[in-house]
Each structure stands twice: as structure tokens, then as C-alpha cells.
Amino acid sequence: MKKPVHLAVYDTLADWETGHATAHLRNGQFHREPGGYEIVTVGPSLEPITTMGGQRVLPDLALDALTPAGSAMLILPGAGLWDAGDDLAPFARKAREFLDAGVPVAAICGATAGLAREGLLDDRDHTSGAVQYLEAQAGYAGAKRYRDEDAVLDGDLVTAGPTEPVAFAREIFRRLDVLRPEVLDAWFRLFGRSDASAFEVLMAV
């Protein structure tokens, strides 16, 4: 049995940033092996949260019950709350727990700022919306490891900026090794570049 992928959910979550990743992980289409991943939502508590787009989500699990041993990956979306105080700092601390245990973490948009404040980007290649955004975070000392790319995978860490949900998904798929390389390339060309020639490759899977 595959371990589930855990998706963090919290108020002001940026709805558009993780949909490509979670939908394609769950449905299993184009995967090397049959079957997809269970997507388990993790909130600060079991109370409903409201996304930036106004959707109400009832978390499956509270953060304090989440352990790396029971997870294939932790995905951290952006949210206005990442820039509004320390409410989401427990999610960054959980990311440290995952990385220390060798379980991958994927962070996009404001979540990269949370990881920067936690010191998790100082010794790993990473990206975000802009290096200046991260340099404004207290404690960040990782500018030399910043990469001006659509998404970056370094070991167990995936990062991306807010405009790159498809590249973010691509690197998540790469880290979890769910698609063969030629299929991953075709998937990104189709969904990220609207390249119709990639459709034929995917339909042959």
C-alpha cells in the first residue's frame, strides 16, 4: 500500500497552487504503476478552513497527529497567513521534522517564506516568487542557494513560486517517481506549455 500524500490546508490557502499536483497524484493517470495516492488534508485542527477563493475545507487530520512515518510527502500551499504572522509556523516546524526524517516536502509561494524563516532553505537549492521576497524573511541566509527557475527539486525539497503550479507539480511527480521521464516531459509540455504534440505521448501510456 502506498502511503498517503498530505496536503496542508489553512485559512487563506491559495486555491490554484496545488490542484495539478493533487489531482494527478490521486487519479493515477499516466503513473508508472496502477493506482494513485490518497490525498489527506491536514489542518491546524479539525475545524473547517476557508481558502482564498472562499471554499470551505474540513481537514481529515490535525497537524499534531501527522507523522513523517505515515506519509509519502507533505505539500505546503501558499496562503496570505504565511505573510501575516506566525500562525502557520507549526507547519514549517513540521516540514523540518519531515526533512529530518528523509520524507519529502513541497512548498510553493508563501510557504517558501515559512521554510526560509525556519532555516530550511539555507543549505538547499530552492526558488520562490523572487529572492528579494525571501531576503525579507527574518533569519533567511540562503540567497546563495536561490535558483531563478520555475521550480526546484533538491533532495527531498521541492519549491516553486506562485505563478508556477504546473512546474511545481512536475517536480513533485519527479521526486515521487510516479511518471517515466518521457511521460513527465510530455505531461509538462501539455499542461504547462499547451503543446498538443505531447498529447499523443500521453495517450500511448
In angstroms, the CA 157 to CA 120 distance is 9
* Tens digit of each residue's pLDDT (9 = 90 or more) over 113-172: 999 999 999 999 999 999 999 999 998 999 999 999 999 999 999 999 999 999 999 999
**What's at 199, amino acid-wise?**
F
The whole model's pTM is what?
Answer: 0.97
* Tens digit of each residue's pLDDT (9 = 90 or more) over 156-180: 999 999 999 999 999 999 999 999 9
Catalytic residue among 106, 109, 113, 167: 109
Which pLDDT does position 29 carry in this prediction?
86
Catalytic annotation on 65?
no
> Which of 122, 123, 18, 127 is CA-nearest to residue 77?
18
Domains of the chain are 5-179 (3.40.50.880)
Which set of grid coordinates corresponds to residue 196? 498538443
